Chains A and B, each alone.
Chain A
Amino acid sequence: MGSRLPTGWRDVQVAARAVRLVLTRPAYATAAVVAAWASLTVFVLSGNIAMVRNLVVSGPLSPGDRLVLVREQYPFLGTNYGTLEGVAVLAVAALAGANLALVAYHLREHELSASEGGGSLVGVVLGVVGAGCAACGSALLVGVASLLGVSGLLLRFPFGGLELSALAVLALVVSTYWIAHGLRGGEVGGCPVDVGGRR
């Protein structure tokens, strides 16, 4: 299993090279930017759905004011995020964009198994949770974690949920490595998880 995870600088270089090469194509670079922006928007708006529903989608505000409210949800444009949280959310969104562009490339140019793509989804899902956390504090984790029965544990995260963003970054980096590995060899060579039924 250890050999299927990035273990050294060489592995990071392979993943970085794959990202760079795919993103030199304008179509995939555009896709990456759009995916990153979309991911970031989902991350930041997911913590304020009622506001979006009441004041952005409906309500008495002018179109300009609605856009202002949306703009103010983004890191460094508004004040919902501290510096570290903002950087983490942007990093997750950027990685998600690059990762999804790689997935699109792999889907179009090669074949890609479900389990290999799953790493991207884990990153995106963790990004949603982590972004909300950064915005609203670790209290949000209580609600999310209560579904998992571990709220007491999560409440005591020393960085108030920033850990989830770090996990999202890690998941996306590993996923990028797997996809890059697959691009390199034309196979699903990196996934360490043996999904039932796969051979």
Chain B
Amino acid sequence: MKQTSRSDRERTAGVDDGRPARRGGREPEGGSRSRRRLLLALGGVSTIAVAGCLGNGGGEADGDEDAGSEGGNEDGGGEGADGETLESHPVGVDLAEKPRLGPDPFDAPATLVVLDDPSCPRCAAYHQGTVAELRESHVAAGELSIVYRPYPVVYDWGERAAHALEATVERDPEAFWPLLGYYFDEQSSFTSDTVLERTASWLTAETDLDAAGIVADAREETFADRIETTLEAGSAAGAGGVTPVSYTFVDGVFQSPINGSASTTAIETALQL
């Protein structure tokens, strides 16, 4: 610990009396060196923070170099909005077989491709708030296409749910939405051990689909290739471990990824709706 003199203590004692002490007298020996050390430390740690935390999203515009890294680009996309189209963008791969709301995503004035995980709390908030509002307004007006890609990267049960969702889409794409809503509504009550059993019960009660077949496909991971394709697409697009991520396209041209449970206003603004 640094030692201080009586005069130092006296000139700063005012704080304890209800008065901040004023600067006065000579600075103790070593004071300027300590200050320089502090400023250096501030600069160094700030640089590390910026590089480590902000740098996640600061990738190059041609950004595939992060693809496949364990952490990925946590900012949800190092790709720049340099005229890339939905056809050529990683999240556009196999898009036709994905569940969607609204018009054909390749012909729509605005398209939102959402990567989310059934077990992710902010995904639930996004689905129940922003997506619901967009569905009632812009999707209903035929000016927005929303495509969902199950992207299980959070909790274990989310991966099982994603397999069940893909098996459901295979049988009836329209049944995807209420099942996804069920996962989000009851999110806190699922575990890896219970999710498929409860999925079977819900499908039996709410749909005419072959619940046993869907759950069997989920257990055997029959559609694992679809999930793997989405995981690879997310990795190539820089999504990394972030959910939800919404990729925005206007007239088929890529605009930007938007991380998190963005507001309806933010999505409308990004899509120029």
Q: Is the CB of B19 within 8 A of A50?
A: no
The stretch of A29-37, A61-69, A89-97, A168-176 in contact with B is A61-69
Residue of B nearest to A107 (CB): B35
CA–CA, A22 to B22, complex, Å? Answer: 11
Residue of A nearest to B1 (CB): A188
CB-contacts of A133-159 with B (<8 A): 135-144, 146-147, 151, 155
Interface residues as binary, B10-31 with A (CB distance below 8 Å gives 1, 0 otherwise) = 1111011011111100011011
The interface on chain A, measured as residues whose beta carbon lies within 8 A of the other chain's beta carbons, has a size of 74
Number of A-B contacts (CB under 8 A): 244
Q: Is the CB of B57 within 8 A of A79?
A: no
A112 at the interface (CB under 8 A from B): yes
| Residues of the B chain whose Cβ atoms lie less than 8 Å from the Cβ of A143 | 56, 70-72, 74, 240-242
CA–CA, A54 to B121, complex, Å? Answer: 26
B266 at the interface (CB under 8 A from A): yes
| Residues of the A chain whose Cβ atoms lie less than 8 Å from the Cβ of B155 | 155
CA–CA, A155 to B21, complex, Å? Answer: 47
Interface residues as binary, A173-187 with B (CB distance below 8 Å gives 1, 0 otherwise) = 000000010011111
Residue of B nearest to A142 (CB): B241
CA–CA, A58 to B72, complex, Å? Answer: 24
What is the CB-to-nearest-CB distance from B53 to chain A, in angstroms, rounded to a whole number? 5
The interface on chain B, measured as residues whose beta carbon lies within 8 A of the other chain's beta carbons, has a size of 85
Residue of B nearest to A129 (CB): B53
Q: Is the CB of A113 within 8 A of B38?
A: yes
Q: Is the CB of A51 within 8 A of B121?
A: no
What is the CB-to-nearest-CB distance from B137 to chain A, in angstroms, rounded to a whole number? 16
B229 at the interface (CB under 8 A from A): no
**Known contacts A17-B18, A72-B262, A199-B1; A112 and B35 CB within 8 A of each other:** yes
Q: Is the CB of B71 within 8 A of A147?
A: yes
B194 at the interface (CB under 8 A from A): no
Interface residues as binary, A100-115 with B (CB distance below 8 Å gives 1, 0 otherwise) = 0000010111111110
CA–CA, A132 to B75, complex, Å? Answer: 9
Residue of A nearest to B256 (CB): A54
A-B contact pairs, 6 of them (CB 8 A): A49-B54, A50-B78, A51-B259, A59-B255, A72-B263, A129-B53
B residues contacting A by CB (< 8 A) are: 1-4, 8-13, 15-16, 18-23, 27-28, 30-31, 34-35, 37-38, 40-42, 45-46, 48-49, 52-54, 56-59, 70-81, 117, 120-123, 125-126, 129-130, 153-155, 238, 240-244, 255-266, 269-270, 272
